[in-house]
Amino acid sequence: MAFFRGTGGAGDATNDATLTAVTEQANIATMKASQATTSAANAANSATSAATSATNAATSESNASTSETNASASATTASTAATAAQTAQTASETAQTAAETEQTAAETAETNAASSATSASSSATSASTSATTATTKASEAATSATNAATSETNAATSASSASTSATNAATSETNAASSASSASTSASNASTSETNAASSATSASNSATASANSASAASTSETNAAIRI
């Protein structure tokens, strides 16, 4: 039985739609509607994805700007670090130069110390030699002083002998005067004794002078020895 009129003219049974055809058309329409709904959902999803992508793109752009800023800051930091490294290298080279200068000064000081030690050793040797010489001179001065004392004693002895001789001469003269009347020979002998006494007195005077000179020389030697010591 016909359900509705199809595209054909009225009364054209060949163009009447059947229930099956209508069902098929309904199914097709339902399918199309479902596809349209799916397409609409997909379009909504695509729109959401597009919005998300736009947000992500904006975020990426912001992140890129931040990264660029960070990169610029890193470049500035790297430049600062390079400058600091160059400054540190310069300071290290300066310190090395100073250390080399200090080492040279230390080596010079060591050489000077060695020279001073050598000079000190030479001075000590010279001082020891001078001390030995002074000891020798002191011994010589002591010997001279002893000799001078001996000469002084001898001079005193000579003076005493001269005095004794003078006394004896006076006695002889007295005896000669007393014996003048008895013997001219005794008078002559007395005169000779007087002459001898005068010679002895002269010798005694000379001895006394020599003794004084010896004593003066001894005093001079003692003074010179004291100066050398």
Task: List Cβ neighbours of 214 (8 Å cut-off, separation of 6 or more).
Answer: 147, 148, 151, 152, 155
- Residue 29's CB is within 10 A of a number of other CB atoms, namely 10
Look at residue 103 in the predicted model and tell me its pLDDT: 86
* pLDDT above 60 for 226: yes
**Comparing C-alpha atoms, which of 164, 158, 163 is closest to residue 211?**
158
Question: What are phi and psi for residue 180, nearest 5 degrees?
Answer: -60, -40
Lowest mean pLDDT among 74-83, 96-105, 197-206: 197-206
> Residues, the chain, total?
229
Residue with the larger pLDDT of the pair 162 and 40: 40
| Cα distances (angstroms) measured from residue 148 to each of 14, 145, 176, 226, 229 | 190, 5, 40, 16, 20
**More confident position, 8 or 203:** 203
Confidence of residue 229 (pLDDT cuts 50, 70, 90): low
Q: Which amino acid is at 47?
A: A
Which pLDDT band, with edges at 50, 70 and 90, does 145 fall under?
Answer: confident
Q: Is the pLDDT of residue 90 over 80?
A: yes
Confidence of residue 6 (pLDDT cuts 50, 70, 90): very low
pTM for the whole thing?
0.31
Other C-beta atoms closer than 10 Å to the C-beta of 5 total: 13
Question: DSSP state, 4?
Answer: B
